[in-house]
Amino acid sequence: MATRYCTRCGTPVPAGSAYCAACGASVAPGRSGPGPSASPPPAWAGTPGPYVPAGGPYPAASPAPPTATDLRALSSVSVAALLGLVGALLSLVEFVWTLTSAFVSSVASVQSASLSSFLTELYLVTALGALGAIFGFVGLCFYLIAFRALAPGDGRFKTPATLTLMALISVVLALGLSIALVVVLVQSISCTGAEAAISSTCLNFGALAVLFGLLLVVAIVALIGCIGLLIGIWRLGTRFDESGFHVGAILVIFPFVNVLGYVLILLAARSARHRLENRGFALGYESDF
């Protein structure tokens, strides 16, 4: 007996069967198979319905728990913003003090200022600026720690980490060159005497030119490093969905207003950490941190 085939899917149909066992189509009696010019329809003929697993639809993916790396990075950013805030306040005090003290007038006129009082103010202003630079330097270290912690899992922080390291090196070099400038200036004043103007024989113009040239180069490198730092802070806002990082990254560029920028970065870091911790508790990951 000739083999019969389903006219819909082409599956062989046992003799006596009225329906195809594969697709359930009705099999007309007497049809022994496809015609000479016909070919069995493909197996995918028809419109299959959506696939539903045997156990029901797959459950929606749960949000990923906050990692210890994120929390440590945000803690480092909080410390960095606090240190930057202190450094910015010290720089502001130094600027106001310099403008309102006799230091500016004595440097401008380079005349009859008491040597002892001049040197005292010079040392105090320098110490205040150095203290602010130290706070800023340590703050940069904490930013670097945060960026390096996030970089392995988020490649967006690799470049900010490298550029922030450049900024750290530039700060050290700038501090050393500034101290050298102060030393040259103090030596010139001591050479001149207590009641006389600084003469050209006492002022080492060659040393000053070299120091200012090196400071210019270091300043350019520091500027590039600071741009990388700001990019890293901006990307923190993107990663943790905190607009305070974005606004703070812009405000820290401007003198005096940078105080507000550091405050916003500090608040954003604490807000992001608090939100991640709350999400972790809600998901049952208390033990992770």
Q: How confident is the model at residue 284 (pLDDT cuts 50, 70, 90)?
A: very low
**Range 132-154 average pLDDT:** 91
pLDDT of residue 234: 95
Decide if 86 contacts 133 (C-beta within 8 A). Answer: no
Backbone angles phi, psi at 26, to 5 degrees: -70, 135
Cβ neighbours of residue 87 closer than 8 Å, sequence gap 6 or more: 132, 133, 134, 135, 136, 139
End-to-end Cα, the chain, rounded Å: 76
Span of 53-57, 74-78, 231-235, 272-276 with lowest mean pLDDT:
53-57
Q: Could you give the angle at the alpha carbon of 175 between the alpha carbons of 200 and 113, nearest 5°? A: 40
pLDDT tens, 103-130?
445 444 444 445 566 667 777 777 777 7
Report which residue type is found at 44: W
Dihedral pair phi/psi, residue 19, rounded to 5°: -135, 150
- What would the pLDDT profile of 229-282 be if each residue is shown by its tens digit? 999 999 999 999 999 999 999 999 888 889 999 999 999 999 999 988 887 654
